[in-house]
Amino acid sequence: MPKTVKDYIRTIADFPHEGILFRDVTTLFADPRGFRMAIDQLLHPYAGERIDKVVGLEARGFILGGAIAHQLSVGFVPIRKKGKLPGRTLAQDYKLEYGEAIMEIHDDALIAGERVLIVDDLLATGGTCAAGIKLCERLGAEVIACAFVVDLPDLGGRALLEEMGMEVHALCAFEGL
């Protein structure tokens, strides 16, 4: 029976805290067939669409986003945690389960009117991606969709992004935390 993307993802119990089932995509990335399958499936819905840039969210979104940008022959833009980018940046705060964090993008990374695809490995609460969407829109870009390998639907991220008017594409889902 052929493998699916989900078959390549390892689950690690009690990481980073007791009671959490961590969905580890590094096993997917390490397998050439699995990695190729994930990249192909992430970009397939957007074949024939105009995409000017792929935006990757720190950190595993860089791996996926870079590969997708290469396949589409478009530029790649990183959105990073506060203090990691060397040039002038725009910042956007967002809520975490316990507190807040800040994401940043270079203030010249996108041009008004560019169409972007945001990519990350996992969609949980949606806070990081929502901050990324806001940063792209503040630069005048149009976010056409958000693509993920894993969706954790019980944490509500998909609903949050869809309420923002975003198309959400995920290759697989895992129930629970």
The per-residue pLDDT of the chain, averaged, comes to 96
Q: What is the pTM of this model?
A: 0.96
With CA atoms as reference, report the closest residue to 42 among 16, 23, 69, 22: 69
Q: What is the CA radius of gyration of the chain?
A: 16
Reported as a single tens digit per residue, the pLDDT across 92-117 is 999 876 779 999 999 999 999 999 99
How many domains would you assign to the chain?
Answer: 1
Tell me which residue range forms the domain holding 160.
Answer: 50-173
Q: Are 57 and 129 in contact (CB under 8 A)?
A: yes
Burial of 91 (0-12, 13-18, 19+ CB in 10 A): middle
Identify whether 155 is part of a domain: yes
Identify whether 13 is part of a domain: no
Reported as a single tens digit per residue, the pLDDT across 45-95 is 999 999 999 999 999 999 999 999 999 999 999 999 999 999 999 999 998
CA angle 89, 169, 124 (to 5 degrees): 65
Identify whether 5 is part of a domain: no
Identify whether 14 is part of a domain: no
Identify whether 45 is part of a domain: no
Q: Kindly list the catalytic residues.
A: 60, 97
pLDDT at position 1, please? 73
Q: What would the mean pLDDT of 158-173 be, rounded to a whole number?
A: 98
| CATH classification of the domain holding 121 | 3.40.50.2020
Identify whether 15 is part of a domain: no
State the pLDDT confidence band at 177, using cuts at 50, 70 and 90.
Answer: low
Identify whether 6 is part of a domain: no
Identify whether 89 is part of a domain: yes
Q: Strands 142-151 and 168-173, how do they pair?
A: parallel
